[in-house]
Amino acid sequence: MTERFYIDDSLTEPTAKLAGAAAHHLLHVLRLRTGEEAVLFNGRGTVATAEITGFSRNSVELKLIETTQFPQESGRSVSVATAVPKGDRFRWLVEKATELGVRRLTPIRTSRSVVHPGESKLDKIRQTVIAACQQSRRNWLMQIDPVTSWNEFLGQNCRRQAVLVAHPAGEQLRRRLPSIVGSSPLLLVVGPEGGFTDAEIDDALIAGAIPVNLGENILRIETAVVALIAVCRLATSS
């Protein structure tokens, strides 16, 4: 397969330039040279086949051969809101959510949250989204929102879409899903390792969210997120 490279560009001009890590990978890892081809994507649905026309130590010049604009991804829109797990587990979570087609991910801050990533951390996480799109051949980047407080999150989201909150006391997911299958956006929510407080769940119920049970075992944050996405994707893809 022709290697894919992300470029923050409209890809409407006849030429494009890769710089930084992307150029280094093309030149010094893949060792591509003038006349060879690469695929560029801008994360906004535009994909271009391009020919390498020149390079310097830190940049690569390319001539666009063919450009295709892909529509926004088909199927039901699925977003995720989640407390942030410790260490590298958040990067893994983001990678898998991207591969599974999640459109937006919102890190949430709850009473029992332990990790509150700053903007520099989120910028690094956005690089994980890009890498996952390159690998999975996805043409639209998953959006990463700033960290949002629980109450602010509920006020912004529960009226516009079906919201499922993972909670041990909720209804079994497989029984609840048939009643919400449809075309409206779906938002999946996972709390911190210590769980949501009773007050937070009460607030979610008042806002119209639906608590759902993922089974007998208590799952880690990233496991619960991937399980929710996968089950809902399967249930709504038929």
Closest CA to 30 of 7, 8, 63, 52: 52
pLDDT of residue 201: 95
> What pLDDT shows up at residue 182?
64
Tens of pLDDT along 5-60? 999 999 999 999 999 989 999 998 999 999 999 999 999 999 999 999 998 888 99
Tell me: do 88 and 126 sit in the same domain. Answer: yes
pTM of the model: 0.91
Same domain, 60 and 170: no
**Cβ(81)–Cβ(189) below 8 Å:** yes
Q: What is the pLDDT of residue 64?
A: 97
Q: Are residues 132 and 90 in the same domain?
A: yes
Does one domain contain both 63 and 84? no
Do residues 103 and 142 lie in contact, with contact meaning Cβ atoms separated by under 8 Å? yes
Mean confidence (pLDDT) of the chain? 91
**Confidence class for position 80, pLDDT limits 50, 70, 90:** very high
The rounded percent of the chain whose pLDDT value lies above 70 is 97
Range of the domain at 214: 78-236
Q: Report the CATH number that the domain containing residue 50 is assigned in CATH.
A: 2.40.240.20
User: Do residues 84 and 142 both lie within one domain?
Assistant: yes
**Across 204-230, average pLDDT:** 92
Residue range 89-101: average pLDDT? 96
CATH number at residue 188: 3.40.1280.10
Label residue 141 by pLDDT band (50, 70, 90): very high
DSSP string computed for 50-116? EEEEEE-SSEEEEEEEEEEEPPSPPS--EEEEEPBPSTTHHHHHHHHHHHTT--EEEEEE-TT--B-
| Whether 91 and 62 share a structural domain | no
- The total of structural domains in the chain comes to 2
